[in-house]
Homo-oligomer: A and B are copies of this chain.
Amino acid sequence: MAASRYLQIAEALRRSILGGEYPVGSQLPSESDLAARWSASRGTVRQAVALLASEGLIGSRQGARRIVLRRERRHSFAELNSFAQWAQGEGYEISSRILTRTRRPATPTESTRLTLPPGAGVLYVVRLRLLDGEPAMLERTAYADWVAPSVEELPDDCVSIMNSLADAHGIVAHYGDHLIDAVPAGSVDARLLHVRRGSPLLRQRHLTCTATGRPIEWTDDRYVAGAVTFSVSNSADASPLSRRAGRLDG
């Protein structure tokens, strides 16, 4: 339990806010107060509050005390790249069926996104995801050739491929790009997701990379309308000074 000092402070403050000790709209103690209370320097306290600010929990204006903006916890990045992780956290019964798993040459889009050399192959996987037994999402993923062997040795009913890759091979997703839009269901989508052709789907395409910027996968996920809503919070002072914490890659 040797977490950094600023993480401890942040965690304590977070708990106080979530627990209602500092109600929404109220002021946080000043930095010097907190520094004294934790016998830490002001700089360390600032790291802690910067972290909370980046989570959207608190806001700040120069000269005025920090203010509690909201009381809910926001989910972090890992859950964005992992449908399974998110769904389990929300208490859903989740299952998935692999419909296709083939090696084939990369399409032009995949080559570009995954920055593959011309002629390289990918492992193409189509999975149907169900929430509480209902079809909720259709996932088409192209894995870069260098991870393909690791993916292929996973069992067919593997719930979270990214989690398994991290555990078994130390391949950890570090960041990603996401493109979100709405598209009409194609005939394949419609049949598999049990919706009418042309009905709205929420599409999320994303690229996942390692900490060194090496692309892992390029995915096209299509959600049944109403099954999922993306939620974003943003603050004007988009957390500039956030010196950050993070446990990654092996």
Residues of A that sit less than 8 Å from B by CB: 24-25, 46-47, 50-51, 53-56, 59, 61, 67-70, 74-81, 86, 90, 92, 131, 172-184, 198-203, 209, 211-213, 223, 225-249
Shortest beta-carbon distance, A158 to chain B, in Å?
Answer: 20
Identify A245's interface contact among B74, B174, B211, B229, CB under 8 A: B229
Q: In the docked arrangement, what's the CA distance between A80 and B47, Å?
A: 26
Point out the residues of chain B lying under 8 angstroms from A55, CB to CB: 238
Q: Which residues from B are CB-within-8-Å of A212?
A: 25, 59, 61, 67
Whether the Cβ atoms of B243 and A178 lie closer than 8 Å is no
Contact A241 B230, CB 8 Å, known A175-B69, A183-B200: yes
Q: Is the CB of B183 within 8 A of A238?
A: no
Given the known interface contacts A239-B238, A243-B50, A244-B237, the answer about A178 and B77 at a Cβ–Cβ threshold of 8 Å is no
Number of copies: 2
Give Cα A184–Cα B183 distance, bound, in whole angstroms. 10
Most B CB within 10 A of own CB, among A131, A223, A245 = A245
In the bound complex, residues from chain B placing their C-beta under 8 Å from that of A249 are 61
Measured CA separation A25–B237 after assembly (Å)? 26
The answer to whether A229 touches B179, judged by C-beta atoms less than 8 angstroms apart, is: yes
- Residues on B with C-beta less than 8 A from A248 are 61, 229, 231, 236
| CB contact between A244 and one of B50, B131, B180 (< 8 Å): that residue | B50
Q: A47's closest neighbor in chain B, by CB?
A: B241
Q: What chain B residues lie within 8 Å of A209 (beta carbons)?
A: 69
Please measure, in the bound complex, the distance between the C-alpha atom of A202 and the C-alpha atom of B223, giving whole angstroms.
12
